[in-house]
Amino acid sequence: MISSEDHPQCSLVATDQRERRLRVQDRIGSVIAGEGLNWGPADVKLSVSSADEFRVSIGVHSRVLAARSRFFEEKLGRRGGVVEICECNDVEVYVDVIAMMYCGDIRRRLSGESARRVLGLLKVSAAITFDAGVAACLERLEAIPWSEDEEVEIVSVLRQLHLGEPAAEVLQRVLVESSYSSRADAIFLRLLACVLQSKNEKARGDMKTLMLGLLEKTTTAAASLPTTSMSPKEPSTIFATSA
């Protein structure tokens, strides 16, 4: 019989995964308990696993998931059962989005989160059509500082998600800020790709209208600013990440 002592690395991995699992389970448990509502017994066993076989199983409530997410409403209705989410890119982020469904004030829950973290939550919220989560993530993104690398990532994610009108404020900020930098053309082209690559006619029409409106606002804002003399500078190159 082979013991874990013969494979110390395997033992360390198992211990690390167990600690991560307990940490994630405790986090969602504290969120559910912290809302101060009597949810009753959980009627859904939700199991979320990644490609590297890290798995977290939690007890949740079908009425909460179905009320907040059209994805879960379609899959569960108001019935309980077992739900498995396999090959998840980030198990902890997925479970955190589930925890957000129990929050009365999602925006407060996101307070203090970084842009990159919010992007992860946004992608999961959009994937499961958790509209309140999408709105809160976009509001948080619009309000916090970004680095240049984070701005590129934000544009790339919004390009993939095709959120249309809900993303208006974030897109407007990207256009306004990039208008005063050598990166403006590249940023604009990436935003324009949201319009051209959308396969949904209505979404494409909404994005086209949105882009025209944002350009008009950006032009007005830029015209109202004082002119500042700057030395010539070579334009930066932005490499587009694949959708």
**How do residues 83-92 score in pLDDT, each as one tens digit?**
999 999 999 9
The pLDDT mean for the chain works out to: 77
Read off the pLDDT of each residue in 136-165 and give the average, rounded to a whole number: 89
18 phi, psi to nearest 5 deg: -65, -40
**In the chain, alpha helices (H):** 8-34, 62-68, 70-76, 91-100, 106-110, 115-127, 131-143, 148-161, 168-178, 184-196, 201-223
* CATH 3.30.710.10-classified regions of the chain: 13-104
Position 212 confidence tier, pLDDT thresholds 50, 70, 90: low
Give the pLDDT score at 52.
Answer: 86
Position 237 confidence tier, pLDDT thresholds 50, 70, 90: very low
Q: Which CATH architecture has domain 13-104?
A: 2-Layer Sandwich (3.30)
> Do 42 and 21 meet the contact criterion of CB atoms below 8 Å apart?
no
Give the pLDDT score at 226.
Answer: 42
User: String of b and e for 61-84 (b: at least 16 CB within 10 Å)?
Assistant: bbbbbbebbeebbeebeeebeebe
Read off the pLDDT of each residue in 42-49 and give the average, rounded to a whole number: 92
